[in-house]
Amino acid sequence: MRKLSWDDFDSCLSHLSLACKDKKFSGVYGFPRGGLCMSVAISHLLTIPFLKEPIPNSLVVDDVYETGLTLNQIKNLPGVTAFVWFSKVEPVWWNAVEVCESSEWLVFPWENLSLAEQEKTSFQLRRGKL
């Protein structure tokens, strides 16, 4: 289990804002729940509007790419740029700040560490991995 810190989060944001600094976005959207912290912070860093839904030419962020179910919702949106903090597979059409093993369990700084093991077990049961 990998516990991420707010310093790790700041490093992720630095990487993301550097990668996007020369792009013109209509705004930034973050998938609930994990992408919300990222999208609010990036909105401030890049001084672009925070969006309530993804729109063409927007930056879309999320905390982790595992199965693609979430991110694939915006795959065909014109001009969209997608970033995740972690991708558990090699990125194809999206961007990742970091690629990690598919089995690695990540605990983000905004998550409740004391519930992490329970959430991991619940996730694995839903995915038939236990």
Retrieve residue 56's tokens.
């063409």
What are 89-106's pLDDT values in tens digits? Answer: 999 999 999 999 988 889
* pLDDT for the residue 119: 81
What's the pTM value of the predicted model, to 2 decimals? 0.89
What is the number of structural domains in the chain? 1
CATH of the domain at 43: 3.40.50.2020
Task: Look at strands 28-30 and 2-3 and give their pairing.
Answer: unpaired
**Is the CB of residue 97 less than 8 Å from the CB of residue 14?**
no
Instruction: Give residue-wise pLDDT tens across range 55-97.
Output: 999 999 999 999 999 999 999 999 999 999 999 999 999 999 9
Range of the domain at 33: 2-126
